[in-house]
């Protein structure tokens, strides 16, 4: 198929969340907070916490197995694995390399992509571009995080927000006009300090100081993030709809990054989209960063709420700042 006639579609999805549940009431016993504060300010009621011996590749592998099974493929048929994550197993190698080995995807290239909470949207963009270029036929895309291992459990302004999860989507080549219709990615590195984990990289290598000054944990300026998040997701949504020549009334469901119910409400209000078409699951999982969108999509798919041809819009934002959207025609029939 010539490049100009190619697109990609999602033919399988999967997700995994750890078994341990941490409720807001549990958090009341850990920091100076209340269930009422957390629910009214964020919409979150509980989140999942990875076990001590559970790492990012463990969560990813479980999600990937489900996606590959749904697609009915042999892992040998996968050409690439891209994991959007900022909480990988190790500094290197890539978490995708561990998944490639344990999945038996012996013909796949493997890489991680760092775009914080936009990791899945960025990874879908990359996988789509590789398929459209003709370089690959099938790419497994994952959003997976174990951020609870990088959260300061004494900082009530961040520790109540995050949870652990992984979501996967298997992309395969298809004719243009089907599957992914438009993609958009943007960034503004001038906003890096709004949301970052400063310690542990080459700027501030891990030393006893990074433990003492707590720079080895996630730092966030919540109000700044809030304002940018709303603007970014609204802009990215309009951009992909314009690219593809559709309007929001054509879209069956919008799946926004699940960071805060007030951010989602503000986006829905500005887009003038009815709330029943906006997918929300953050009450059960909190902000699982790059995993929020693929986990929510998999839940919608498995609940059979979509039929082939329905338009689905992903939109998200994250540290960097990074943001973006994907508009696609749903292609899975269960
Ligand atoms: C973090 C966030 C929930 C805070 O909500 P807010 O309404 O802006 O609250 P404020 O920052 O004004 O804080 C109000 C007060 O609550 C306090 N507070 C913060 N966390 C608290 C908690 N868990 N429990 C109780 N009180 C808390 C603050 O210390 C502050 O107290 P002060 O007025 O005495 O200083 C909100 O800013 C947010 O969601 N931002 C986006 C964060 C995000 O999405 N990050 C991930 C991006 S991918």
Tens of pLDDT along 237-251?
Answer: 999 999 999 999 999
pLDDT number for residue 313: 98
Query: Please, where in the chain does CATH 3.40.47.10 lie?
Result: 3-180, 181-329
pLDDT at 278: 98
pLDDT of residue 314 exceeding 60: yes
**CB-ligand 1 contact for 41 (6 Å cutoff):** yes
Lowest model confidence (mean pLDDT) among 135-144, 201-210, 252-261: 201-210
158/117 Cα distance (integer angstroms): 15
What pLDDT, on the 0 to 100 scale, is given for residue 213? 87
Label residue 210 by pLDDT band (50, 70, 90): confident
- Tell me which residue has tokens 């593809």: 244
Cα distance between residue 122 and residue 214, in whole Å: 29
Predicted pLDDT at 2: 57
pLDDT classification of 212: cutoffs 50, 70, 90: confident
Q: pLDDT at residue 1 above 60?
A: no
Nearest CA to ligand 1 atom 8: 223
pLDDT exceeds 80 at position 164? yes
What is the average per-residue pLDDT within 253-277? 97
Decide: residue 4, CB within 10 A, 0-12 exposed, 13-18 middle, 19+ buried. Answer: exposed
Where is average pLDDT lowest: 209-213, 224-228, 304-308? 209-213
Q: Between the CA of residue 49 and those of 22, 114, 231, 285, what are the distances in Å? A: 7, 21, 30, 9
| The pair of three-digit structure tokens given for residue 271, joined into one six-digit string | 């887009």
**What percentage of residues in the chain have a pLDDT greater than 70?**
99
Query: Is any atom of ligand 1 closer than 6 Å to the C-beta of 156?
Result: yes
Cα angle 115-120-126, degrees, rounded to a multiple of 5: 85
Q: Is 28 in the pocket of ligand 1 (CB under 6 A)?
A: no
Give the gyration radius of the chain's Cα atoms: 19
Instruction: At 99, list the tokens.
Output: 């998944």
CA-nearest residue for atom 19, ligand 1, is 157
> What's the rounded Cα separation, in Å, for the pair 94 and 91?
8
- pLDDT at 317 > cutoff 80: yes
Determine the topology of domain 3-180 in CATH.
Answer: Peroxisomal Thiolase; Chain A, domain 1 (3.40.47)
**Is residue 254 over pLDDT 80?**
yes
Report the interhelical angle of 222-244 vs 261-271 (nearest 10°).
40
Atom of ligand 1 nearest to the CA of 223: 37
Bridge partners (DSSP) of residue 162 are: 287
Domain 181-329 top-level CATH class:
alpha beta
Nearest-CA neighbor of 305 among 246, 232, 254? 254
Catalytic residues: 117, 257, 287
Q: Are 299 and 156 in contact (CB under 8 A)?
A: no
Q: How many CB atoms lie within 10 A of CB 319?
A: 24
The residue with tokens 């011996």 is: 53
What is the whole-number distance in angstroms between the Cα of residue 184 and the centre of ligand 1?
Answer: 30
Report helix, strand or coil for 163.
Answer: coil
Averaged pLDDT of the chain: 97
């Amino acid at each position: 198929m010539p490049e100009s006639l190619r697109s990609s579609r999602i033919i399988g999805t999967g997700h995994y969340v750890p078994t341990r549940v941490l409720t807001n009431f549990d958090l009341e016993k850990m920091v100076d907070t209340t269930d009422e504060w957390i629910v009214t300010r964020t919409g979150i009621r509980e989140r999942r916490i990875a076990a001590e011996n559970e790492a990012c590749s463990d969560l990813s592998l479980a999600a990937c197995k489900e996606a590959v099974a749904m697609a009915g493929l042999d892992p040998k048929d996968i050409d690439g694995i891209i994991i959007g994550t900022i909480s990988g197993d190790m500094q290197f190698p890539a978490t995708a390399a561990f998944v490639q080995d344990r999945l038996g995807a012996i013909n796949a290239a493997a890489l991680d992509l760092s775009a914080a909470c936009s990791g899945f949207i960025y990874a879908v963009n990359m996988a789509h571009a590789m398929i459209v270029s003709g370089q690959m036929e099938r790419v497994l895309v994952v959003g997976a995080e174990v951020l609870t291992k990088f959260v300061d459990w004494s900082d009530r302004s961040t520790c109540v927000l995050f949870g652990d999860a992984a979501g996967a989507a298997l992309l395969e080549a298809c004719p243009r006009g089907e599957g992914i219709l438009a993609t958009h990615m943007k960034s503004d590195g001038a906003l890096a300090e709004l949301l970052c984990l400063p310690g542990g990289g080459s700027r501030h290598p891990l030393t006893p100081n990074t433990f003492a000054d707590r720079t080895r944990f996630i730092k966030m300026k919540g109000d700044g993030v809030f304002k940018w998040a709303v603007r970014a997701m609204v802009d990215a949504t309009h951009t992909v709809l314009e690219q593809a020549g559709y309007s929001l009334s054509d879209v069956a469901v919008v799946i926004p990054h699940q960071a805060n119910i007030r951010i989602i409400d503000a986006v829905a209000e500005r887009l003038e989209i009815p709330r029943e078409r906006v997918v929300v699951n953050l009450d059960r999982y909190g902000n699982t960063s790059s995993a929020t969108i693929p986990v929510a999509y998999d839940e919608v798919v498995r609940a059979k709420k979509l039929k082939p041809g329905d338009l689905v819009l992903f939109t998200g934002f994250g540290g960097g700042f990074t943001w973006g959207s994907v508009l696609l025609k749903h292609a899975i029939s269960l």
